[in-house]
Chains A and B, each alone.
Chain A
Amino acid sequence: MSEDIYREMILDHYRNPRNKGKIEEPDIRINDSNPLCGDEISIDLKVEDEIIKDIKFDGRGCAISQASASMLTEMVSNKPLTTIKEITKDDILENIGLTNLGPARIKCALLSLKVLKLGMVKYYVDKDPSSADEMKDQSKVF
Chain B
Amino acid sequence: MQALLDVYKIRQDFPILNRKLNDGKRLVYLDNAATTQKPKEVIDSISRYYSEYNSNIHRAVYQIAEEATQEYENTREKIRKFINARYPEEIIFTRNTTESINLVAYTWGNSNIKKGNKVILTEYEHHSNIVPWQTLCHNKGAKVKYLEVDDDGYISLEDLEVLISQKGGGKTKMIALSEMSNVLGTIFPAREIIKLAHEKEIPVLLDGAQSVPHMKTDVQQTDCDFLAFSAHKMLGPTGVGVLYVKKEILEDMKPFILGGDMIKEVHKENTIFNDLPYRFEGGTPNIADVIGFSAAIDYLNRIGMENVREHEHKMTTYLLDKIQNIKSTTIYGPKNAKDRGGLVSFNMEGIHPHDCATILNDYGVAIRSGHHCAQVLMEKLDIVASSRASIYIYNTNEEIDILIEALNHARRIFDI
Contacts and interface: CB of A to CB of B under 8 A. Distances in A.
Q: Do A and B come from one complex?
A: yes
A60 interface: yes
A2 B384 contact: no
Interface stretch (B183-191, B331-339, B350-358): B350-358
A25 B414 CA distance: 35
A108 B361 CA distance: 17
Interface of B: 351-355, 358-359, 361-362, 369-371, 375, 378, 384-385, 413-415
Given A6-B413, A60-B384, 12 more contacts: A11-B413, A11-B414, A37-B353, A37-B354, A37-B370, A61-B352, A61-B354, A62-B354, A63-B355, A63-B414, A105-B358, A108-B354
Contacts of B359: 2, 6
Contacts of A5: 358
A3 interface: yes
A60 B354 CA distance: 12
Contacts of B375: 38
Interface in A87-142: 105, 108
Interface string A1-17: 11101100001000000
Q: Chain A's interface: helix, strand, loop or mixed, by majority?
A: mixed
A46 to B, nearest CB: 27
Interface residues of A, number: 18
B362 A62 contact: no
Given A2-B413, A38-B384, A38-B385, A62 B355 contact: yes
Given A6-B413, A38-B375, A62-B352, A1 B362 contact: yes
A40 to B, nearest CB: 7
A37 B358 contact: no
A64 interface: yes
Most buried by B among A5, A11, A38, A40: A38
Contacts of A39: 354, 384
A11 B415 contact: yes
Given A37-B354, A38-B371, A61 B384 contact: yes
A105 B358 CA distance: 9
Interface in A46-98: 60-64
A37 B357 CA distance: 11
